[in-house]
A and B are shown apart, each in its own frame.
Chain A
Amino acid sequence: EAGVAQSPRYKIIEKRQSVAFWCNPISGHATLYWYQQILGQGPKLLIQFQNNGVVDDSQLPKDRFSAERLKGVDSTLKIQPAKLEDSAVYLCASSSSINTGELFFGEGSRLTVL
């Protein structure tokens, strides 16, 4: 079974530029999460999708961050314009069943904002 795929793995941009990250969850997983992990900290939830609907985006800085999950499969997270404090690893995770609760994480996209 293929795991959660993310791209790009690394991205370096200057502040005020834009960037987009892509996530392909495990096939059949209805729930998709985007987490932001700043160095030395635990993952912080940005947005959660159930199929193509948003369950929770209360911690997403909506003035600069946006995310979509068209057709309930792949998802894209965009940052525009980027700030220095956005430097982090952006982790995508998916989950298949509410009963197990296990999250399957991708390897993440590391963003450096200069």
Chain B
Amino acid sequence: QQPVQSPQAVILREGEDAVINCSSSKALYSVHWYRQKHGEAPVFLMILLKGGEQKGHDKISASFNEKKQQSSLYLTASQLSYSGTYFCGTERGLIPLTNSGSARQLTFGSGTQLTVLP
């Protein structure tokens, strides 16, 4: 089931902060965040595993509230380079393989378009 992202779009000035939310109606194993610039491939930002952890990457950080099945991506002091579409990808669990081991599978949200203006 596809996670729900909000807001759909954000426009802010360089140096301002933004928060992007991702929620699921089902229990989650992990949440992944990707950024896609126009005409380019999505690029991995970070993964958060259940356990309510919070991660940071430069001025971009994220949290995962396992009880609420929600994740939030925080962009602090936005830079022009932060512009793009942000997708959350969710996992409900690992997929067992018939020949032992397991695999991962992401279901992506519809994205949040972030525009940072000078």
Contacts and interface: CB of A to CB of B under 8 A. Distances in A.
B42 to A, nearest CB: 5
A98 B100 CA distance: 13
Contact of B111 (A42, A101, A106, A107): A42
Nearest to B110: A42
Contacts of B106: 45, 103
Interface hub of A4, A42, A50, A91 (most chain B Cβ within 10 A): A42
Interface in A51-80: 53, 55-56
A31 B103 contact: yes
Interface string B34-48: 100000111110010
Given A42-B109, A53-B98, A103-B106, 16 more contacts: A31-B104, A41-B110, A41-B111, A42-B87, A42-B110, A50-B103, A53-B97, A55-B97, A55-B103, A91-B42, A95-B104, A102-B32, A102-B44, A103-B89, A104-B44, A105-B41
6 contacts: A4-B41, A35-B108, A42-B108, A43-B42, A101-B30, A102-B32
